[in-house]
Homo-oligomer: A and B are copies of this chain.
């Protein structure tokens, strides 16, 4: 203890200087509100000295009637740092697109000031608002205050995790469907699956308005809904000319970088063989005014992304190549239910849906959820001759 009654943190203090905003400063700032922060600093300093964490493994705590939304956490040096003996986190479902008003922010701050450490993550990497650190007895009251303010908890454990989406139509000209609406509606539709973990493992859903995938859905969601279009790119030749005039090397920077080499620039006119375009977004990204996605919009549904634990990381793969925007919500609800039904029945404990599909085989999975095989689902057909012919049934 230092004379001022505060723990000394010589190592952490070194992280207060420098141009990038400092999380240490944040923790120190929060001291005014909560003594927890002192002990958090103390324990963290200890970790920095010893090069090892000091949190105990898991711990099941939560709020009445919910099986998720809280991550229990206990210190393994509670006698040294009693204020963080309990240091549970609340995951609070963010508003779609992470939009707030200053009032909403203040409301959240006031609640957290009363019931926790005053520390947050804006946001957790699944997308939730993270209230970082409180005691077990504060969980329920904090939750109810939040509920009265119109907020609810997010997902944790073997549940549908808090869906998230890109800013989409709210502030992006490329969004091929309403990411915020679909994210919000899906979240409401499956409240029960989010709050009362029913599954073999976690299930994440992310909504991106176009193939730029600004929420990394193809890498981080069991179900990735990614916007795209079916018709031709919208092209504004005058704007193209402006870009050229402004010094953009359209041949080199646009045409030559087009993965399907379907663009031709003769120095005056840009010609696109749209039937060959793979909708990668590059040319649109480079010339926002000049090129835009077509008007026949919708999304593709991809399935199975996850981190490496334990069979290796997966990216989502194409499940439905295209769903028109107006059919998205219904298709999604129906499909999610079928997928969950199969996963529930055949998934092993802690087996993500992407792992399950690889284990049983995509073709069998498609049968199970009632989809027909399509060449869009594979990068190429099999290159090995080991085919399990099913002579009984006629081949699908």
Please list the residues of chain A having a beta carbon within 8 angstroms of any beta carbon in chain B. Answer: 308, 312-313, 383-386
Bound Cα distance A385, B385 (Å): 31
Chain B: which residue is nearest A309 at the CB level?
B385
Name the distance in Å between A269's Cβ and chain B's nearest Cβ.
19
User: In the complex, A182 Cα to B313 Cα: how many Å?
Assistant: 45
CB distance from A10 to the nearest CB of B (A): 31
A276 to B: closest C-beta gap in Å: 15
- C-alpha gap A313/B383 in the complex (Å): 9
Point out the residue from B308, B383, B384, B386 that lies within 8 Å of A385, measured CB to CB: B308
Tell me the number of copies of this protein: 2
**Chain B residues, CB < 8 A from A384:** 308, 312-313
Separation in Å of the A78 CB from the closest CB of chain B?
A: 32
Question: Whose C-beta in chain B lies nearest to the C-beta of A307?
Answer: B385
Q: Which residues of B contact A313 (CB under 8 A)?
A: 383-384
Q: Give complex CA distance A312, B308 in Å.
A: 25
When distances are taken between beta carbons in the complex, the residues of chain B under 8 Å from A385 are: 308
Q: How long is the Cα–Cα vector from A15 to B308 in the complex, in angstroms?
A: 57
A311 → B minimal CB distance (Å) = 9
> A93 CB to closest chain B CB, in angstroms?
30
Q: Taking the nearest CB of chain B, how far is it from the CB of A254, in angstroms?
A: 15
Distance A93 CA – B386 CA, assembled complex (angstroms) = 33
Give CA–CA (A386, B313) in the complex, Å: 11
Q: How far is the CB of A339 from chain B (nearest CB, A)?
A: 26
Determine the chain B residues whose CB is within 8 A of the CB of A312 once the complex forms.
Answer: 384, 386
What is the CA–CA distance of A40 and B245 in the complex, to the nearest angstrom? 78
The 4 closest A-B pairs by CB, nearest first: A312-B384, A308-B384, A308-B385, A313-B384
Which partner residue on chain B sits nearest A312 by CB separation?
B384
A-B contact pairs, 7 of them (CB 8 A): A308-B384, A308-B385, A308-B386, A312-B384, A312-B386, A313-B383, A313-B384
The residue on B at minimum CB distance from A310 is B386
When C-beta atoms are compared, the residue in chain B nearest to A384 turns out to be: B312
Complex CA distance for A106 and B172, rounded to whole angstroms: 80
Docked complex Cα distance between A102 and B234 (Å)? 69
Question: How far, in angstroms, from A173 to B345 measured CA to CA in the complex?
Answer: 64
With both beta carbons as reference points, the residue of chain B lying nearest to A383 in the complex is identified as B313
Residues of B near A308 (CB, < 8 A) are 384-386
Q: Nearest Cβ in chain B — how far from A91, in angstroms?
A: 26
Q: Give Cα A324–Cα B386 distance, bound, in whole angstroms.
A: 41
CA distance A25 to B312 in the complex (A): 57
Chain B nearest CB: distance from A251 CB in Å?
Answer: 12
- Report the separation of the CA atoms of residues A14 and B23 in the bound assembly, to the nearest whole angstrom: 85
Q: Complex formed: what's the CA distance from A196 to B371 in Å?
A: 56
How far, in angstroms, from A308 to B383 measured CA to CA in the complex? Answer: 10
Determine the distance from Cα of A312 to Cα of B385 in the docked complex, in whole angstroms.
8
Q: Please, how many angstroms separate the alpha-carbon atoms of A109 and B64 in the complex?
A: 93
Complex: how many Å from CA A195 to CA B385? 32
A164 vs B384: C-alpha distance when bound (angstroms): 26
With a cutoff of 8 Å between Cβ atoms, the chain B residues found around residue A383 in the complex are 313
Cα(A313)–Cα(B386), bound, Å:
11
